[in-house]
Structure 1
């Protein structure tokens, strides 16, 4: 369970990447989030269930200069 108040998003939540970082290893290209998600520098993710989320890039804002 997440000890933060408010609690971090669950690993299954769409905003799971907003969880706090527990361990950061930029030299290896990954970070462990409070919800158990391993976030890779290429934006790929490994969920605690073993599911893999392919790397994804945010869509550019429409009309942004």
Structure 2
């Protein structure tokens, strides 16, 4: 586990996994790495540490 926060962030397989801290943000590329190893994409899709893909689950904001 990459998290050193107190309290510890949710692990990658918890329902609240997106509440983890961002350790590397790349808004120009549309993704961020969370401290639990999850890659969070701009469209709310996820890539879990084991390679599992979780499709987008929130409606994109209107511009």
Same fold (TM over 0.5): yes
| Structure 1 vs Structure 2 CA RMSD | 1.0
Q: Measure the CA separation in 2 of the matches of 1:18 and 1:3.
A: 14
CA distance in 2, matches of 1:41, 1:31: 8
Unmatched runs of 5 consecutive residues or more in structure 1: 59-65
Question: What TM-score comes out, normalization by structure 2 length?
Answer: 0.89
TM-score by length of 1: 0.86
> How many residue pairs are counted as aligned between the two chains?
58
**Which 4+ runs in 1 deviate beyond 4 A?**
none
Question: Which one scores higher on RCO, CA 8 angstroms, separation ≥ 6?
Answer: 2
Mapped partners of 2:5, 2:57: distance in 1: 27
